[in-house]
């Protein structure tokens, strides 16, 4: 088990930060959790549920902290880091949970003082819910947490962060930042964009009434709406800061869509069957990797948090 950290500072108090706090508490890995969020209401809820104290500024929150977690939208991480930089103690570890790494590294790195260790990170875990009440201690269990260490990264600091993340149940892997952004464009960013688009299409298609869309939602559309219910600020920033990779994958998706459109129009059943068989095998691989189950409703029982 990782050694306990004297103090952790959470900058941003939504789903990921609150889940980290609950997990660290459950495993006895932290002695003091300080939090900051812009909203006074959010700070009050965090103080009630999982923070030892909350502050009215990010700079105050990070004082004497051993680990600082940037859990804010990627578009403001540079601004936040500039604010907290003068108050970071030597030897502290700064990490983030942003879904994009290249843009975050570019924005954050210039502000990190000498002697402070910045280790970019991204937990591949979440739900469609947000806010300080949405977190739960088991969110990261058997989920991947990707780290994108910088050149010259201090190995002891990296090992300490890895051990902490593994102790709260995550599978930790390391990846180069540019590769991370391409991989996430495939497995997360573009699928979210497609989900937003499909829900938007249903909303604008006047031949299908709103009542019919709601009443007859089968699992496919229902789960599109679950994805499309994700935090709009976060996803706006993701698409704008990872636009090259997303546009690349979106272009490839469009080419595939045109191919399927032609096969459907021309009645090419064998080609469609072969295509669907290949994609079905990917689903089986995800189940075999332990990242989901073959049970109905994506393996989630009624009332269970949706990862």
Q: Which of residues 149, 175, 201 is at a domain's end?
A: 175
Check whether residue 171 and residue 185 sit in a common domain: no
**What pLDDT does residue 289 have?**
76
User: Does some domain include residue 274?
Assistant: no
The pLDDT confidence band at residue 304, using thresholds 50, 70 and 90, is very low
pTM above 0.75, yes or no: yes
Per-residue pLDDT tens digits for 71-123: 999 999 999 999 999 999 999 999 999 999 999 999 999 999 999 999 999 99
User: Does some domain include residue 298?
Assistant: no
User: Does some domain include residue 289?
Assistant: no
Domain harbouring 209, CATH code:
1.10.3660.10
Phi, psi dihedral angles at 119 (to 5 degrees): -125, 100
Q: What is the mean pLDDT of residues 207-229?
A: 69
Per-residue pLDDT tens digits for 134-161: 999 999 999 999 999 999 999 999 999 9
Percent of the chain with pLDDT over 90: 64
**What pLDDT does residue 301 have?**
47
Q: Per-residue pLDDT for 212 more than 80?
A: no
Q: Is 127 left (phi over 0), alpha (psi -120 to 50) or beta?
A: beta
* 69/62 Cα distance (integer angstroms): 9
**What pLDDT does residue 209 have?**
62
Domain harbouring 29, CATH code:
3.40.50.720
The pLDDT confidence band at residue 18, using thresholds 50, 70 and 90, is very high
Check whether residue 165 and residue 184 sit in a common domain: no
Domain that holds residue 229: 179-267
User: Does some domain include residue 226?
Assistant: yes
* 112/101 Cα distance (integer angstroms): 16
User: Does some domain include residue 303?
Assistant: no
Phi, psi dihedral angles at 144 (to 5 degrees): -80, 140
Check whether residue 16 and residue 160 sit in a common domain: yes
In our burial notation (b when 16+ CB lie closer than 10 A, e otherwise), range 14-27 reads: bbbbbbbbbbbeeb
Check whether residue 30 and residue 157 sit in a common domain: yes
| Bridge partners for 54 per DSSP | 35
State the total domains in the chain: 2
């Amino acid at each position: 088990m990782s050694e306990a950290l004297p103090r952790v500072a959470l900058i941003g108090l939504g789903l990921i930060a609150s889940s980290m706090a609950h997990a660290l508490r459950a495993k006895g890995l932290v002695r003091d959790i300080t939090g900051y969020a812009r909203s006074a209401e959010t700070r009050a809820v965090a103080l009630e549920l999982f923070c030892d104290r909350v502050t009215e500024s990010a700079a105050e929150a990070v004082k004497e902290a051993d680990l600082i977690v940037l859990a804010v939208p990627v578009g403001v991480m540079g601004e936040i880091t500039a604010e907290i930089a003068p108050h970071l103690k030597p030897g502290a570890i700064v990490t983030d949970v942003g879904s994009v790494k290249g843009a975050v590294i570019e924005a954050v790195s210039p502000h990190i003082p000498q002697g402070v260790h910045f280790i970019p990170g991204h937990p591949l875990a979440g739900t469609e819910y947000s806010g300080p009440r949405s977190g739960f201690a088991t969110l990261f269990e058997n989920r991947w947490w990707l780290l994108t260490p910088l050149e010259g990264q201090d190995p002891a600091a990296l090992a300490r962060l890895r051990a902490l993340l593994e102790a709260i149940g995550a599978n930790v892997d390391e990846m180069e930042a540019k590769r991370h952004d391409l991989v996430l464009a495939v497995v997360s960013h573009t699928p979210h964009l497609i989900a937003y688009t499909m829900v938007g299409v249903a909303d604008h298609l006047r031949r299908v009434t709103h009542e019919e869309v709601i009443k007859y939602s089968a699992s496919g559309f229902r789960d599109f709406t679950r994805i499309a219910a994700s935090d709009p600020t976060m996803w706006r920033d993701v698409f704008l800061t990872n636009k090259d990779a997303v546009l690349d994958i979106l272009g490839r998706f469009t080419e595939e869509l045109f191919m399927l459109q032609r096969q459907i129009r021309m009645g090419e059943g064998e080609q469609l069957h072969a295509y669907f068989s290949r994609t079905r095998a990917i689903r089986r691989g995800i189940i075999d990797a332990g990242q989901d189950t073959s049970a109905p409703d994506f393996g989630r029982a009624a009332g269970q948090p949706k990862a």
